[in-house]
Amino acid sequence: MSYISSYCHISSTIYSVNGQVANTFESGTLDEIISELYTSLDIKYSKFHKMDQLSKIGFIGTELIKRDFPAIDNYGENDIAVLFANRRSSATTDINFLDSYQDGGIPSPSLFVYTLPNIVIGEISIRNKWFGENMFTISNHFDANYFANYCDILLQKSSEAALCGWVNVDDNKIEAFFFFITKKDIKQLNLQLNSEKLTEIYRAI
Amino acid sequence: MITYIGSENIISPLGNSAEENFTHVSNGKSGIELFKNVGVGKEDLYLSKIKSLEVDHKFDYLLSNCLDSIINASSDNIINSEDTIVIISTTKGDIQENLATPIQASVDKLQQDYNLAHTPLVISNACISGVLAMNTANNFIQANSYKHAFVIGADAISSFVLYGFQSLYAVSDEPCQPFDKERKGITLGEGAAGVLMSSDPTVFKKESFEFVEGTSSNDANHISGPSRTGEGLYRTVNKTMELGGVKTSEVDFISAHGTGTLFNDEMESIAFDRLEMNAIPLNSLKGYFGHTLGAAGLIESAISMQSMRNNTVVKSLGYANDGTSGGINILTENIEKELTTFLKTASGFGGCNASAIIRKVK
């Protein structure tokens, strides 16, 4: 049995933590919204500025979860599995990389390294010194059944917790949902992990 | 409960079955050739490219042909069973012809064409995708989520990926030479491979193996450079061995990742040294197939399963002189001996590493 101990949503208009709206954004470009979110975190992490949008949103979502659930620091460095997913892989960066060479230009190495969706997991692992299980999957819809089942499976094996993210940054829209799964209901949110509960909180905003 | 693995298939320039591929590999034949005007600025480059594959949507073709072969090597009708999941491993899918939805469009089509009971799970986790896909299948089977998993990995050569690796100065101007002193980088390849994994040994038409355990670990170090200490690789192999209850002395050979880049191969040698696996015969199969990205873990596992069937570990093609600091046993000749157990490893961008152990059923 596993529990959802923290969750947050980020869209192009609001972000919320555990279902409570934490901030709303004035209309702006994606880069402006991402910049506003990063500034509101009040952290200095120079690597953030070279990331693509997918990695930036993944990074910010993880920071929001950590802030809501500081006990995350008590886990060992191999303990936390990171499972992320989205609809369109690294599509936005793929297009930017293609644009870099299409009209006789020189292919951009700094864009190319972000043309793999799991780079966001790498960025989060580097930031937090997490050496646990990794997996990036691609699906048309948020697959609550997969996340609930696979978190349970990993937590019954060698992982103690799982950080999950459904992270879409395409067509000038952000749709992201992050949740942290633990073996005990440490924060007593009373959210036992199953696909129905996960679907319910995913849709709640 | 045992997870069984078998019905392996490979599609590559060396052939369309695991047997055909293994025959060529064991004779030292490579799929790598020089192609004219393919690189940035029309540079000639070595590739392991399937020349006969002149179809639209190569990725779709590779997926379905590979799946067909596994279906033919297994019991009737399990592909459509409620107890079956299809797991697909790829990095860039159909990127050459479908930039907008390079993976999902092909997977949706596959699900419809084969009338699958469940939506396939698509794993896109850089170069460890193939090993991760087998690990995930094993986890599902052990948890009783599914009884059977068809696991297929495929990637096609695209200018997108080729130019990308060229932009990183990671492409060799000769056929790749993993672990060799003179190695200069990767040779890009294309192909597909797949296996059936199941809790039921009777679904395989030929003898199957035991998939003992598989895990992954991140280096937490750099997104495109391997860890200097081989941290993630060291950790995943340790974890897999420990969870699987397998001792180093039981591992007959290692199918390493061995891309042919300076830093990757050095990292692997350091990890295997730390693991005290120096004496275990080891190969990289990239000299035969190039780097096939999302297909690599499955192609190399399928060849290693063929190795066990034929009791022959194949040499690490392209390797002549030791070019890494770990002091590991890279094969310069094929070895014929009774084989029981092998370790498969993979490492990729994003600092990811995965490992798996497969052995003959006791």
Same domain? B65 vs B151: yes
Tell whether A171 is within 8 A of chain B (Cβ): no
| Cβ-Cβ contacts under 8 Å, A157 against chain B | 139, 243
For the segment A91-124, what is each residue's pLDDT rounded down to a tens digit? 999 999 999 999 889 999 999 999 999 999 999 9
Range of the domain at B105: 3-178+184-203
How far B118 CA sits from the closest chain A CA (Å)?
11
For the segment A62-85, what is each residue's pLDDT rounded down to a tens digit? 999 999 999 999 999 999 999 999
Q: What is the pLDDT of residue A60?
A: 98
- Please state the domain count of chain B: 2
Same domain? B12 vs B35: yes
To test the contact with chain A by mutation, choose from B218, B222, B227, B242 the residue with the greatest count of A C-beta atoms within 10 A, namely B218
Subunit contact B139:A154, Cβ cutoff 8 A: yes
Same domain? B192 vs B279: no
Query: B48: domain CATH number?
Result: 3.40.47.10
Q: Please name the residues in contact with B271: beta carbons below 8 A apart, sequence gap of 6 or more.
A: B229, B230, B231, B233, B234, B237, B326
CB pairs below 8 Å between A and B: how many?
158
Our CA angle for B231, B235, B240, nearest 5°, is 150
Q: What is the pLDDT of residue A104?
A: 86
Same domain? B172 vs B32: yes
Query: Is pLDDT above 80 for A27?
Result: no
Round to whole Å and give the CA distance between A179 and A12: 18
Q: What is the pLDDT of residue B132?
A: 98
Tell me if B301 sits within 8 A of B195, measured CB to CB: yes
Query: Is pLDDT above 80 for A205?
Result: no
Of B32, B82, B1, B69, the closest CA to residue B298 belongs to B69
Tell me if A56 sits within 8 A of A38, measured CB to CB: yes
Q: How many other C-beta atoms are found inside a 10 Å radius of the C-beta of residue B306?
A: 21
Round to whole Å and give the CA distance between B184 and B175: 9
Could you tell me how many residues make up chain B? 362
Tell whether A45 is within 8 A of chain B (Cβ): no
Burial environment of residue A107 by CB neighbours within 10 A (0 to 12, 13 to 18, 19 or more): buried
Same domain? B111 vs B240: no
Same domain? B220 vs B167: no
Average pLDDT over residues A165-190: 95
Same domain? B144 vs B220: no
Same domain? B159 vs B19: yes
Tokens at B33, concatenated: 């050739």
In chain B the beta strands, taken as DSSP E runs, fall at 3-11, 33-35, 45-48, 84-89, 121-123, 148-155, 188-189, 191-198, 209-218, 253-255, 282-283, 312-313, 335-336, 341-348, 352-360
Average pLDDT over residues A153-164: 97
Q: What is the pLDDT of residue B163?
A: 98
Q: How many other C-beta atoms are found inside a 10 Å radius of the C-beta of residue A39?
A: 9
For the segment B215-225, what is each residue's pLDDT rounded down to a tens digit? 999 999 999 99
Round to whole Å and give the CA distance between B57 and B98: 8
Q: What is the pLDDT of residue A204?
A: 87
Domains of chain A are 3-203 (3.40.47.10)
Round to whole Å and give the CA distance between B16 and B10: 6
Tokens at A11, concatenated: 């869209």
Same domain? B171 vs B191: yes
Tell me if B219 sits within 8 A of B209, measured CB to CB: no
Same domain? B227 vs B170: no
Q: What is the pLDDT of residue A146?
A: 98
Subunit contact A116:B164, Cβ cutoff 8 A: no
Report the DSSP pairing between strands B209-218 and B352-360: antiparallel
Tokens at A45, concatenated: 């992490």
Average pLDDT over residues A192-202: 97
Q: What is the pLDDT of residue B74?
A: 96
Q: What is the pLDDT of residue A25?
A: 85
How far A5 CA sits from the closest chain B CA (Å)?
23
Tell me if B117 sits within 8 A of B337, measured CB to CB: no
Same domain? B237 vs B352: yes
Same domain? B61 vs B165: yes
Can you tell me whether residue B127 is helix, strand or coil? strand
pLDDT by residue for chain B (362 residues), tens digit each? 999 999 999 999 999 999 999 999 999 999 999 999 999 999 999 999 999 998 899 999 999 999 999 999 999 989 999 999 999 999 999 999 999 889 999 999 999 999 999 999 999 999 999 999 999 999 999 999 999 999 999 999 999 999 999 999 999 999 999 999 999 999 999 999 999 999 999 999 999 999 999 999 999 999 999 999 999 999 999 999 999 999 999 999 999 999 999 999 999 999 999 999 999 999 999 999 999 999 999 999 999 999 999 999 999 999 999 999 999 999 999 999 999 999 999 999 999 999 999 999 98
Q: What is the pLDDT of residue B52?
A: 92
